[in-house]
Amino acid sequence: MDIIATICAVVIVVLVFLAIFGPWLAPQDPNAVDLSAAYQSPTTGHLLGTDSSGRDLLSRLLAGARPSLAGPFLVMVLATSLGAMVAIASAWIGGWFDAVIARSLDVLFALPGLLLAFLAVAMFGTGLGAPVIALAIANIPWVARVVRSVAAKERRLPYIVALEVQGFSAWTIAVRHLVPNVYRTIGAQAALTFAYAMVDLAAINFLGLGVQPPTPDWGVMVAEGQTAILRGSSEESLFASAFIVITVLAVTLLSYRVGAEQRGGQPE
């Protein structure tokens, strides 16, 4: 048993659980303002204290799981499915098609994800939609590059050639044989994409360009916590950051483990 992988998996299961049931688990209304109770340290009434508006921090953190995780999740789904499709088509068809795709990905590589997201926000306004789509596009080449190299190697293996000789269509071979044999690589890339997107979206939300207050997003909470830090209570920023860091760590570590297993090697 790999202890680290197990811990990561448990953390991720808990996070998914929070993303689904968070709002109902929250002991209090996450948006209930009580200015008289602002900047409280942890008490029995507010287990993790309160923020500048006297809102219960624990409730906000729990309710914030869904918006905080939904963005990266969407980026992951979009970037991975598009990236993997492009990669497998490119590996399968080869030749000039492969070359064109490779050059196009190189162009995309040159665009930093955050910059693309700021541009999208500037054009389409704040909110989750524009940054998510921009980050998905920016992450496609990272997924595609890795999946392409693995798929191209797999495609040349005799069992794939034998299936071609049998007369199976390219589609059937790709879906039923090629993809299942490279899914670990795809999974590992998906997890990494999630982690990158989590950090990037937190930054966008921190800057106030994504999810808008009063929605309890972790990135937004880190930003809102800044005023509290000046008044000597750092709980809000600290806890929100901790949630972000733990999520990113769990997902990244697990993806490395999964990827190492695919290569048949020992994880470092």
Partner 1 sequence: MNENPVVVADSLRKVYRVRGRIGRSGRNAGLTAVDGVSLTLSEGESLGVIGESGSGKTTLALMIIGLQTPSAGRVEVCGNERGRKRQRGKRHVWGREVQIVFQDPYSSLDPRQRVNSAIEEVLKLHFELSAGERRKRTATILEQVGLDQGRGGQRPAALSGGERQRAAIARAIAVEPRILILDEAVSALDVSIQAQILNLLADLRKSTGMAYLFLSHDLSVVRYITDRIIVMHNGRIVEEGTTDQVLSAPQQTYTQVLLACVPRRGWKPQRVRQLTEAS
Among 20, 162, 175, 249, binds partner 1 (CB under 8 A): 162
2 binds partner 1 (CB under 8 A): no
166 binds partner 1 (CB under 8 A): yes
- Indicate the residue among 182 and 244 with the shorter CB distance to partner 1: 182
The window from 4-12, 124-132, 174-182, 231-239 that contacts partner 1 (CB under 8 A) reads: 174-182
The window from 57-65, 151-159, 204-212, 243-251 that contacts partner 1 (CB under 8 A) reads: 151-159
159 binds partner 1 (CB under 8 A): yes
- Indicate the residue among 55 and 155 with the shorter CB distance to partner 1: 155
Beta carbon of residue 165, minimum distance to partner 1 (angstroms, whole number): 5
Between the two ends of the chain, the Cα-to-Cα distance in Å is 15
175 binds partner 1 (CB under 8 A): no
Among 165, 264, 265, 266, binds partner 1 (CB under 8 A): 165
Torsion, CA 17, CA 22, CA 23, CA 27, rounded to 10: 130
Among 31, 53, 181, 227, binds partner 1 (CB under 8 A): 181
95 binds partner 1 (CB under 8 A): no
Read off the amino acid at residue 213: P
Beta carbon of residue 93, minimum distance to partner 1 (angstroms, whole number): 11
Read off the amino acid at residue 94: G
Non-local CB neighbours of 78 within 8 Å, separated by 6+ positions: 132, 133, 136
Non-local CB neighbours of 156 within 8 Å, separated by 6+ positions: none
Q: What is the rounded CA–CA span in Å between residue 143 and residue 255?
A: 13
The count of chain residues that interact with partner 1, using the rule CB under 8 A, is 15
**Of the candidates 33, 135, 7, 17, the residue with the CA atom closest to the CA atom of residue 65:** 17
Among 35, 44, 123, 158, binds partner 1 (CB under 8 A): 158
Residues making contact with partner 1 (CB under 8 A): 157-159, 161-168, 176-177, 180-181
